[in-house]
Amino acid sequence: MILIKPNILLVGAGGHASSCIDVIEQQGKFSIAGLIEFSKKASSQNLHNPYEVIGTDDDLPSLIETYKYAIVTVGQIGTANVRIKLYELLIKLGFQLPIIVSPNACISRTAKIGDGTIVMHGAIVNSSAIIGKNCIINSRALVEHDAKVGNHSHISTGAIINGGTSVGDGTLIGSGSILKQGIKLGTSCVVGMGLSVRHDLVDNEKFVG
């Protein structure tokens, strides 16, 4: 018996989308219908063969009639505003945003992950950790036991979120950075690359070394 995989739209056609494509293909639960770019002038060439850009953000209200699933594949460097806007638009239009997890990631059976989040190759989400909606847990990132990562946050490549740490909504943790156990970061914070964070950060605080 041949199982037909449901189609999924990738909303965002930049570099991050390429990494998402690889994870989605290896997960094997969805067929990629195509990519959505924010405007017709946004890209001059197809960067994601064999998948094509099949529409713009303005086409999403009509595409919901054909496609049930979508995921935000815009990257997040600094602000999460674009990812938040797209996530809220997709939800408003009625799309379902699945959880995408690489088969090479390790997710505890007691961890919780929100809709629209992608967990990429080699990432680890340990026991009783909570990951919010529309997050990126990037390649080889570690979210330790009892840690909380808020909605629309990006834990970049190789970053370590130690046990009991709380990361607020819309926060970026740069590649290779380490958060001390039990600290709290507010909403929309930015932690630069390769840093050691040993104290709490208030909302909108930037810790870039």
**What one-character-per-residue DSSP string does 5-69 give?**
PPEEEEE--SHHHHHHHHHHHHH-S-EEEEEEESSTTS-SS--STT--EEEEGGGHHHHTTT--E
Which helix (H) or strand (E) segment holds residue 165: the answer is none
pLDDT at res. 209: 81
> Per residue in 21-43, pLDDT tens?
999 999 999 999 999 998 765 55
What is the torsion angle, in degrees rounded to the nearest 10, for the CA atoms of residue 168, residue 171, residue 172 and residue 176? -10
> Per residue in 124-152, pLDDT tens?
999 999 999 999 999 999 999 999 999 99
Distance CA 60, CA 36 (A): 8
- Both tokens of 54, joined, read 């099949």
- AA letter at 61: P
3-state secondary structure 133-153: CCCEECCCCEECCCCEECCCC
Do the Cβ atoms of 146 and 81 come closer than 8 Å? no
* Residue 44 pLDDT class (50, 70, 90 cuts): very low
| Average pLDDT over the chain, rounded to an integer | 94
Residues 21-24: contacts with CB within 8 Å, 24+ apart?
21/48, 21/51, 22/121, 23/100, 23/101, 23/102, 23/118, 23/120, 23/121, 24/71, 24/100
Q: In order of start, what are the domains of the chain with their CATH numbers?
A: 7-93 (3.40.50.20), 99-202 (2.160.10.10)
Share of the chain above pLDDT 70, in %: 95
